[in-house]
Structure 1
């Protein structure tokens, strides 16, 4: 793969030996080859490398990590300007979430696909994760994990992205469980809230699924009430409630 390598070492720090420099070149070349395998024929890989270099410099990441983001989005079929925009968003998510650029890109892709969002909305997703993590005792990674597990189900049940974020943020903060665990929990619970075991679990914490007129309450508020109530329970009671809500 023939590209200009001179700028690449800037983002790796000082290269002390020829062997270290060679390792860097092999790593970058390998990732460019991976991108070339999934993009359209005729794509200018040199231009992709130049764009990745700009991304790395802008967001304080190594070119290797920037290319990880490009690889993930290229695998999903994104190309051209969209590829660069999403890779930038992946690097921002990596920075604010303190997670790898590859993981950040995977989570972002999952949310874009499940919620059928446009490329231009990628930064809005990250802003939402960051805002919720700043207001709850949770993390961007937990929110992203939860969204990747429960997004499609939540959308089908009539919730929007921010409502699911609020649920995941509230419950992860209350239970200290991982985002994946809470995402799976929400994914299983949403369709089962009307089951007898779920109703019994809600009664255990004195939370009702319906209002005084018998209308279905806002699901977000139901989850918020449950999350606040389980703080008062011991571990055994908390597990019992969670299992009951899971049907």
Structure 2
């Protein structure tokens, strides 16, 4: 009897959560037709079943992406990634959605790369000696703090995530601390003035790196790939 009671209560709760979510979507997306809304409702239920997730978990993710610029398919695709990352990392749906969208926006990635983003964060978090959920959160926080600066400096999302995960494993500090540190480093290196190569014209960062044998410029005087500069600096640190 208790089992049947719990099942009934869960079913009622799922229906209530689903209806609330669809009402919110309908209010947010005034251009959505009744048939599209019904399709979204049915596919949300199917997703919850396929992913063995609570209906509310899926509908919370779906409503996050509800706006006039979204389609049913794009909402469901993003919601699926959000649910999967949330389940793997322990982050809330909102935090998982912010992480995925933040990375896409800061590194100017297209929406069809969202699965790659989620997979990369999960993969690197699983490979470091750090609690998995903490690793996901640390990477997300770091990119939220510094992603746009890193992207402008020319480092790819994949390289930066690898750099952050290694740093997190070694230092055990928060993602915001790591992000702020790299934001400062990348900003100062990138601030070197193009074409000005005399000691008097160099930025403080460029002069400091040159003093230990690391050049931020190639033979043509243009700024080198920042990954190469950091690799050279790492070699200097290892030798000392």
TM-score band, normalised by shorter chain:
0.7 to 0.9
Specify whether residues 119 and 18 from structure 1 end up closer, same or farther in structure 2 by C-alpha distance, changes over 3 A only: same
Q: Deviations over 1:28-66 (max 9, x none)?
A: 333222222322423332221211112212222111111
| Distance (Å, rounded) in 2 between the aligned partners of 1:191 and 1:108 | 24
Matched, 1:147 2:147: no
- DSSP-derived class of the 2:169 partner: helix
**Superposed displacement of residue 15, structure 1:** 5.4
| Distance (Å, rounded) in 2 between the aligned partners of 1:220 and 1:156 | 13
Aligned residue in 2 for 1:28 = 18
Instruction: Indicate the larger mover: 138-147 or 83-92.
Output: 138-147
| Distance (Å, rounded) in 1 between the aligned partners of 2:236 and 2:72 | 49
| Distance (Å, rounded) in 2 between the aligned partners of 1:207 and 1:60 | 55
Structure 2: unaligned runs, 5 residues or longer = 193-202
Paired positions, count: 217
Matched, 1:181 2:174: no
Aligned residue in 2 for 1:68 = 60
Aligned residue in 1 for 2:204 = 196
**Superposed displacement of residue 114, structure 1:** 2.1
**Superposed displacement of residue 152, structure 1:** 1.7
Q: CA RMSD in A?
A: 3.5
Structure with max Cα Rg = 2
Given that 2:154 and 2:226 are in contact with CA atoms closer than 8 Å, whether structure 1 keeps it comes out as no
Aligned residue in 2 for 1:219 = 226
Aligned residue in 2 for 1:234 = none
**Superposed displacement of residue 161, structure 1:** 1.0
Given that 1:38 and 1:75 are in contact with CA atoms closer than 8 Å, whether structure 2 keeps it comes out as yes
**Matched ranges for 1:34-183 at <5 A:** 34-43=24-33, 44-75=36-67, 77-138=69-130, 139-183=135-179
**Superposed displacement of residue 176, structure 1:** 0.9
| Distance (Å, rounded) in 1 between the aligned partners of 2:169 and 2:236 | 13
**Superposed displacement of residue 101, structure 1:** 2.1
Specify whether residues 227 and 88 from structure 1 end up closer, same or farther in structure 2 by C-alpha distance, changes over 3 A only: farther
| Distance (Å, rounded) in 1 between the aligned partners of 2:234 and 2:169 | 9
Specify whether residues 64 and 51 from structure 1 end up closer, same or farther in structure 2 by C-alpha distance, changes over 3 A only: same
